Amino acid sequence: NLDTMKIFLLFCLCVCLLSSLNEEGLALKSVPQKLFGGWYFIDNLSPFNGTLPAFLPYNTNYIVLSFIDPSTMVFPENFKAAAKLFPNHFIMASIGGESMSGKWNWLNSADSAIAAAQQAAKWASFGIDGIDIDAEAQATNYPPENMVSFLEELRKQAPQLKISLCVNGNPEGTTFYDYLINNHLNGAGPRYIDWIHIMAYAGYNLDVTYIEHFTKAPKSKWDHPINAGVSNSSVVIGMKGTKGFPTCNPQDYTQMVSYVNGVGLGGVAIWAFTNANSNGTIPWFDPTCNSGYATLCKGVIDISTCGQHTSE
């Protein structure tokens, strides 16, 4: 009868609403069509002090909280606080980084990688939307199959979390990354990687060269570590911050806006942001040198707050 139908429809609505919430009762976010933001570097074995740069929430839609120590897999307390500062952003938490490249002991075996993934899956309750894998240097000497065990278990335990992988600009000789891309991004095996961050940081012309090592692979019949071209939409290019250029609004950013929109690239991530007045200094970051971020915001994601609290 009609009353029964109403009860059934109400039940279905409740199920749909509950399925769209994470463990804290927050609505799960969809990935924006294009991403602009970057690594928010606020912890490196100990938390950095300082304050959130005023321009950052208004001129980005993507934040990568950096870095979680892979030897402990403990989600830092300041990450929990930082995630609340970006309620409308897509937020990733990054594991590793260059300075912690020797701390990936759980990559020594499949069993320990699975245990690490079970820890990482719990981070979904802290308001993040995904996990970034930044395994560099010594970490890439481990068998990539063990990283696959981590990714597989993470996908099983927290399927709502997106997964990104940081890779070098040139894929030649990087068998660890190449194995993961060829098998778990490009379709030879189950897809566990949603997009890659290309650690380029070289300026527009070389950044594009690095992008096309992946998107236009294989580059030659003699040396083609990437078996097939990675979709442009699965690539986020890492660019250096404004202080890495002669001006605070470099032409490189304007050129990259045109490239991103022309080929449908997934987005742009800046290395790196940190707090203003912080004990954690970054050579390419100055919170007052920020007009270029308004250019990237307007050109890549075009949200209504672009330009606010910048010196454009």
Q: Could you tell me which residue, 268 or 44, shows the higher pLDDT?
A: 268
Q: What is the Cα–Cα distance from 306 to 296, expressed in whole angstroms?
A: 9
CA 175 to chain centre: 21
* pLDDT value at 22 more than 70: no
Strand partners, 197: 166, 236
pLDDT at residue 17, rounded to an integer: 47
Instruction: Work out the average pLDDT over 246-253.
Output: 98
Q: What is the Cα–Cα distance from 144 to 178, expressed in whole angstroms?
A: 9
pLDDT at residue 281, rounded to an integer: 81
pLDDT at residue 27, rounded to an integer: 56
pLDDT band at 2 (very low <50, low <70, confident <90, very high): low
Please give the model's pTM, rounded to 2 decimal places: 0.91
Residues 185-195: pLDDT tens digits?
Answer: 987 799 999 99
CA distances from 127 to 66, 72, 161, 259 (A): 15, 20, 11, 32
Instruction: Work out the average pLDDT over 255-265.
Output: 98
* pLDDT value at 312 more than 90: no
Q: What is the Cα–Cα distance from 134 to 271, expressed in whole angstroms?
A: 13
Which of 102, 184, 87, 111 has the alpha carbon at shortest distance from 135? 102
Tokens read off for 150: 């981590």
Residues 63-117: pLDDT tens digits?
Answer: 999 999 999 999 999 999 999 999 999 999 999 999 999 999 999 999 999 999 9
pLDDT band at 24 (very low <50, low <70, confident <90, very high): very low
| Of the candidate ranges 164-168, 250-254, 272-276, 278-282, the one whose mean pLDDT is the lowest | 278-282
Instruction: Work out the average pLDDT over 181-187.
Output: 92
Instruction: Work out the average pLDDT over 226-248.
Output: 97
Instruction: Work out the average pLDDT over 284-290.
Output: 97
Q: Indicate the pairing of strand 62-68 with strand 35-41.
A: parallel
* pLDDT value at 19 more than 50: no
Alpha-carbon torsion (170, 174, 176, 180), positive or negative: positive
Compute the mean pLDDT over every residue in the chain, rounded to the nearest whole number. Answer: 92
